[in-house]
Structure 1
Amino acid sequence: MCRGDGALSDWERSSTARVIPPARPRKLAKVPFVELADGRLQGVVSSGSDIGRVYVSSVATGTYAFACSTNNNRPCGGARGSYCKHIMALISEAVLQYGAGRVARYLKVETADGEPTALSIAADMTDTHPSQAGSQAAAAVFSRFLRHLTYLELAPVTAPLPEMQWFPSTRAVA
């Protein structure tokens, strides 16, 4: 968007998107990937017992339908009728990453007076039930997580990444 004088703002001339810093620092070992996307709080949670296993967990906005399965598409044994420990860890890390207020607003959770916490958000999500749609989205979430990992392997450079060149330019072509 142009300002009133037709000039582009700094962020529009930049090749990078504005990144919102986390609400509080978090450790990535337990929940390496968390996002508010596709109408769900979703992410990847490490297994507590097997270093080679991760769980893809999600909670749907508004309905609080949940899904949790391993990276091999096996259902989580703890997600039977209520949130498992992986989903609870996902909610806690989302609160650290985005702030409790933002997570509660995104999930459409009506919290009691005062600042919500991860526990109050989970407690206020009533009428939870397993979700088939969340299970089907697990592959896309895990794929995005793996894609994010590949960016960590890149050397730090200021040059544009070729795969990001499909974004339209904001400059007028003469």
Structure 2
Amino acid sequence: MLERASVVEGVVPAGRRTVKVVPFVELAGGRVQGVVSSGSDVDRVYVSFVAAGGDYYCCTNNNRPCGGLGGGPCKHIREMVDEAILQFGAARVAAYLGVADVATADDAPALFGALRGAERKESPGVVFSRFLNYLRYCELTSRPGTVLEMGWFVS
């Protein structure tokens, strides 16, 4: 018998993520998108995405293209996809990106081998603003009761 509830059981993460390297990753808008910390500058982050079909892009939060984009996905995109696989599982990420043979795409290199896409420049604004909104929720203090910003149903 099904119970009636307004809370849906979440998906258990597939592995332990390294939030310091990739603080934000999500499956949204037909792509894997996220924010990756710079390895050389603590004040810089990269906004990256891989779309269904394989198109990709990576740039800084102030819209400067990543220097590692040279005919293929850069290390920031690969790190982001690795973290997405840890969080959501390889099969779910591969299916979301439209990979035909989900069973063979069990890690980032295999996933990129199954995708055929090209660099597609896009503004980082949407992904970066989603990240900042996510940070706002992470900074809320824990308190008993209802958090109004997270109330989805009208009572």
TM-based fold match above 0.5: yes
Match of 2:119 among 122, 130, 133: 130
Question: Is 1:96 matched up with 2:86?
Answer: yes
The number of aligned residues is 154
Is residue 2:65 matched to residue 1:69? no
Question: Cα gap change, 1:55/1:25 in structure 2, threshold over 3 Å: closer, same or farther?
Answer: same
* Structure-2 separation of matches of 1:111 and 1:164: 37
Helix, strand or coil at the partner of 2:32: strand
Aligned to 1:80: 70
Please name the residue that 1:143 is paired with.
129
Unaligned runs of 5+ in 1: none
Quote the sequence identity (%): 45
What is the distance in 2 between the residues matched to 1:107 and 1:49? 30
2:150 is matched with: 164
* CA deviation map 1:39-66 (0-9, x unaligned): 111000011111110000001112x111
Q: So what's the TM-score if we normalise by structure 1?
A: 0.80
Runs of 4+ in 1 over 6 A off after TM superposition: none
Aligned-pair distance for 1:18? Answer: 3.4
TM-score, normalised to structure 2, is 0.89
Structure 1 Cα separation of the partners of residues 15 and 91 of structure 2:
13
